[in-house]
Amino acid sequence: MARWYAIQTKPRQEETALRHLERQGYDCHLPRIRERRLIRRRPVSMAVALFPRYLFACLDLTTQNTAPIRSTHGVVGLVRFGAGPAPLPEGFVEQLREQDERGGIPELGDWQTGDALEVTDGPFAGLRAVFAARNGDARVIVLMELLGRTQRLALPEHQLRRAGT
């Protein structure tokens, strides 16, 4: 029976590994997300791996030979726990693929100072915030009304969305 397994890639070689694995006939999926990055001091929206250094392959370990995976350009190997590869939970990759088909690649953080945001996950879920600044690659500084005062908090970017959407 075919199951989905995680494959670890070399740093920033997810696309290369994906191409080479698919060329060898493996059914693979690389979930992506849109991110804004500064390139030459200009913000550019680009698709990057949702799980850096990992992609997923659907394998039937009883009938498929997995030895070529280890020697594929860009691949470190299958993620293992103990002696054998560790299968992913049922439906995990299917949900990621379905999301890709529904709305394409989601975009994070196309916000300007003062934009109203809503926290979607974590201990502050459901609360409103105001975008203040970026803090590294995946975190942002927001202003929130807590305990009767405006507080500056650093939150993961994926826990926020524009208010009212």
Q: What is the pLDDT of residue 149?
A: 85
CB 60 within 8 A of CB 1: yes
pLDDT digits (tens, 9 = 90+) for 79-109: 998 888 999 999 889 988 887 776 655 555 5
* Predicted confidence band of residue 26 (pLDDT cuts 50, 70, 90): very high
Domain limits of the chain?
1-98, 105-160
Place of tokens 């370990």: 61
Instruction: Measure the CA–CA gap between 72 and 103, rounded to whole angstroms.
Output: 31
Instruction: Measure the CA–CA gap between 98 and 86, rounded to whole angstroms.
Output: 23
* Sign of CA pseudo-dihedral 135, 137, 143, 144: negative
Mean pLDDT of the region 136-151: 82
**Average pLDDT across the chain, whole number:** 86
> Does pLDDT of 49 surpass 90?
no
What CATH class is the domain 105-160? mainly beta
Q: Assign 79 to helix, strand or coil.
A: coil
Burial (0-12, 13-18, 19+ Cβ within 10 Å), 100: middle
- Check: pTM over 0.85? Answer yes or no: no
Mean pLDDT of the region 56-79: 95
Decide which of 3.30.930.10, 3.30.70.940, 3.30.465.10, 1.10.10.410 is the CATH code for 1-98: 3.30.70.940
Rg, Å, the chain Cα set:
19
Same fold, 1-98 and 105-160: no
Region for residue 104 given its phi and psi (left: phi exceeds 0; alpha: psi -120 to 50; beta: otherwise): left
